[in-house]
Amino acid sequence: MPRHKPQFRAGFVALIGRPNVGKSTLLNRVLGQHIAIVTPRPQTTRTRILGIVNGEQYQLAFFDTPGVHQARGALNRRMVEVALSTLKEVDAALLMIEAGTGPGGRVEIGEGTRAVIEEVARSRTPAVLGINKVDRAPRETLLPVIEAYKGLHAWTAIVPFSAATGENVEDLVATLAGIMPVSEAPLFPADQLTDQAERQLAAEYVREQVMLKTRQELPYSAAVEVEEFDESLRRETGGLVRISAIIRVERDSQKAIVIGKKGALLKEIGTAARLRLERLLGAKVYLALTVKVDDRWTEKDAAVRRLVT
């Protein structure tokens, strides 16, 4: 008898979890593109980012979300609201944790992680538990982690993987694709990768370099606003994209840090961001950066709405 062709499936998946569990790294891995910025600092992701992955019999639309944490101030409240509200809009959630055990082989599940699991349960969204960073943990610690978490929720599946190395990521994607709704057609055009406009990506690439190259206390107080994105010469031979952006900080002392001695650090930030933008845009980029103080903007709802889109 002829075998039936598998039904096409398509749907939305929320990447959810505590800060720094590797959600953005996973999104970039499955997309094969650096769409979501990544730094070692927690709370790098501030808003929801869509990334679309196409397979022969599926289309997965991933939402990368900010890490869920105890929110203080307008910026942090908005980040957590964005993450938790996404649970109500998707077909499945991938709740991500890190592999590894604590001293004496104990699995320590913090209150913050338990709170995220409770939010997933409250949403009634089918959920896969993704155990990330298996490349960093001894194999013998994996089973205790699975045992500790499997009774906390009715997981659709539990999948260990490494977003950094790609280990078992294909199995993770296949698992998620298998629980998506049957669809007559893809939800997005096959050539669409993300919902992020190039202008937004430019702002994020600059902020990524600010976070990577400045001191511990600054990154959470920095935002980037693109004033000009001129690609009128982009299609010409040796085309050029002109971008001007403002790095906004909260205090004069932070402005001095970003600029650096004789403007050296600002130049370093701009060069690194420009090189990444040229790879993204496939064109030469002229990037002009200025730094301005927007006093205590992270505490003001209006400023957060304007600067975090």
User: Which among 51, 55, 17 has a CA at the least distance from the CA of 132?
Assistant: 17
What is the per-residue pLDDT for 168?
97
pLDDT of 184 > 60? The answer is: yes
Domain contains 215:
yes
Q: CA 292 to CA 199: how far, in whole Å?
A: 19
pLDDT digits over 213-257, tens only? 987 667 678 999 999 999 888 766 668 999 999 999 999 999 999
pLDDT of 46 > 60? The answer is: yes
What is the per-residue pLDDT for 41?
83
Would you place residue 16 in the very low, low, confident or very high pLDDT band (cuts 50, 70, 90)? very high
| 169 and 207 fall within a common domain | no
| Helix/strand/coil for 194 | strand
| 32 and 74 fall within a common domain | yes
pLDDT of 73 > 90? The answer is: no
Contacts of residue 76, Cβ cutoff 8 Å, sequence gap at least 6: 43, 69, 298
Lowest mean pLDDT among 58-62, 249-253, 285-289: 249-253
| 167 and 237 fall within a common domain | no
Domain boundary among 178, 211, 226: 178
Domain contains 212:
yes
Average pLDDT over residues 193-214: 94
Would you place residue 154 in the very low, low, confident or very high pLDDT band (cuts 50, 70, 90)? very high
Q: CA 308 to CA 55: how far, in whole Å?
A: 32
| 174 and 202 fall within a common domain | no
What CATH number does residue 140 fall under? 3.40.50.300
Average pLDDT over residues 141-170: 96
What is the per-residue pLDDT for 237?
60
Q: Print the domain residue range for 227.
A: 198-307
| 52 and 151 fall within a common domain | yes
Domain contains 24:
yes
Domain contains 186:
no
What CATH number does residue 249 fall under? 3.30.300.20
Domain boundary among 113, 146, 178: 178
| 212 and 71 fall within a common domain | no
Domain contains 193:
no
Q: CA 192 to CA 197: how far, in whole Å?
A: 11
| 229 and 153 fall within a common domain | no
Q: Does residue 309 or residue 306 have the better pLDDT?
A: 306
| 87 and 27 fall within a common domain | yes
Q: CA 80 to CA 298: how far, in whole Å?
A: 14
Tokens of 297: 């903007």
Average pLDDT over residues 19-48: 91
In sequence order, the β-bridge partners of residue 216 are none
| 162 and 215 fall within a common domain | no
Report percent pLDDT > 90 for the chain. Answer: 72
Tokens of 107: 């699995």
Domain contains 96:
yes
Q: pTM score, two decimals?
A: 0.91
What is the per-residue pLDDT for 235?
67
Count of structural domains, the chain: 2
| 216 and 141 fall within a common domain | no
